[in-house]
Amino acid sequence: METESFYGVTLSEKEPIAQFDVPEIPEEYIVHSHKLIIKQISLGHEAKTGEFNVVQAETNAINEGEKKTVKIPIAVLKVGETRCLKPNVEFPNGSVTFKLIQGSGPVYVCGKAEMNFGEFDDGDGQMYEDYSDEEEEEEYDEVPQTNGKSNKKK
């Protein structure tokens, strides 16, 4: 069972944070893969000339054998220099928080959310075992995408 969704959020001074999480999946399912791909980050036409707008991603990465939180800017934008970037970065670890750490925006973040999951893997080595029926597909077709001042961080 694979679901895809367009992902689009607007970051600004008022709403500088967008959180992307893996939805809660019932126990009997295992997530085979889940990722968010950021295709394009661009400044609105009303962004201020000469002002830097910096979008930071905060996510888990594995570093020297341990899971660590990484914070790294994925877009440094400035009208008159760089209005639009196509980072094409992928967040396969489930959760990521985007934060406008500098500038007043608006900044448009566009991409794609993909999720591939199936029924419980009983550990016998056969991973893509059972695909669920139509009904279940409807039920868990949800890719949470929060934008706002919630300030949730992982």
Q: Which is nearer to a copy of itself, 27 or 64 (CB)?
A: 64
What residues between 89 and 128 interact with a copy of itself by CB under 8 A?
89-93, 96, 102, 108, 110-112, 121, 123-127
Closest CA to 30 of 102, 120, 90, 132: 120
What residues between 37 and 66 interact with a copy of itself by CB under 8 A?
39-40, 42-45, 52, 54, 57, 59-65
Instruction: Rule CB under 8 A: say whether 88 interacts with a copy of itself.
Output: yes
Per-residue binding letters, 61-80, with a copy of itself (x by CB under 8 A): xxxxx----x-xxxxx-x-x
Q: Which is nearer to a copy of itself, 17 or 143 (CB)?
A: 143
What residues between 130 and 149 interact with a copy of itself by CB under 8 A?
130-135, 141-147
Instruction: Rule CB under 8 A: say whether 6 interacts with a copy of itself.
Output: yes
